[in-house]
Homo-oligomer: A and B are copies of this chain.
Amino acid sequence: MTYQKIVVAGGGTLGSQIAYMSAYSGKDVTIWGRSAGSLDRAKARVARWEVEVQNYFKSSDELKNDTQKNLHYTTDLESALKDADLVIEVLPESVPTKEAFYEEFAKIADQKTIIVTNSSTLLPSVLADFTGRPEKFLGYHFANSIWRGNTAEIMPGKKTDPSLPATFVDFSREIKMVPIMVKKEQPGYILNSMLVPFLNSGSYLWVNEIAEPHDIDKTWMIATGSPMGPFAIMDLVGMNTVYEINHANPSETSQKVAEKIKAMIDAGKIGVESGEGFYNYPNPAYQANDFLKE
């Protein structure tokens, strides 16, 4: 066993999923939130993951009840941190927000307590010194719907103790994640370092009117055997995120993509979530039997 007493700082979508899966795997987990309101929202999310996880693993009611017992909520950081082995920070992607939290943590936490960030956009080295213990800090990145997209990318910063990443290989397995070792700092970790250029290459063909989204997806699906092409993935990710990624990229193509995605958002086509994006849901064309045959 590696870390047993876990604090998850932040009960948003991923924070609540990480907390739930850790509690489900027998860890003693406390979700810390800034306010009673944020904890209420975290509880509502946990109730959703409870259903999804039970369906996914076909797990027993007993395990569901045990998980509930393992899961605690508090706005009191001092009591949350008492005797904590590990803090997983899943706060909004803002340096000042994380800095404020880490500085509070640094004052209170026991010297043994390890702290990691789930940030997907900020490298560990940007944040490490705020924690007061940069050698006990690294990046630890989850995909969405973590029971299914169960990779946990482990990324040391420049000051991380070289023996620390290996403990997260074990911890990841304990909470049913597949550990993926990122050997040094890389913006976007592994997944986004590949996914973003992939979505860009599909988008290029679309906005430059070389081919239609459905044909682009079909070509990729037939050639690689993948269940989705770039446009189906964009529908899943959601147009707001696709817009942000492109808007932040100064290339001419990305700016054109941002403009076209903005028009889709304005028309209410934000992807799976709104029932329409590049496909119509719940039965998108790319999942039809004949999509790959005609």
Contacts and interface: CB of A to CB of B under 8 A. Distances in A.
Interface stretch (A70-78, A145-153, A241-249): A145-153
Contact of A218 (B180, B186, B212, B224): B180
Interface stretch (A80-88, A103-111, A193-201): A193-201
Interface in A240-294: 292-294
Size range of the interface on A? 35 or more
Contacts of A190: 205, 210-211, 215-216, 219
A178 B294 contact: yes
Interface in A209-234: 209-212, 215-216, 218-220, 222-228, 230, 233
A219 to B, nearest CB: 5
Nearest to A149: B223
A130 interface: no
Contact of A220 (B194, B201, B220): B194
Given A149-B223, A218-B151, A183 B195 contact: no
A252 B190 CA distance: 20
Contact of A153 (B184, B208, B219): B219
Given A151-B219, A178-B293, A183 B197 contact: no
Contact of A173 (B184, B195, B218, B294): B294
Contacts of A182: 210-211
A164 interface: no
Interface of A: 143, 149-151, 153, 173, 178, 180-184, 186, 190-191, 193-195, 197-198, 200-202, 204-205, 208-212, 215-216, 218-220, 222-228, 230, 233, 292-294
8 contacts: A151-B218, A178-B294, A180-B218, A181-B211, A193-B205, A193-B210, A194-B201, A197-B200
Given A183-B211, A184-B210, 10 more contacts: A143-B222, A150-B222, A153-B219, A178-B293, A180-B219, A186-B205, A194-B201, A194-B216, A224-B226, A226-B227
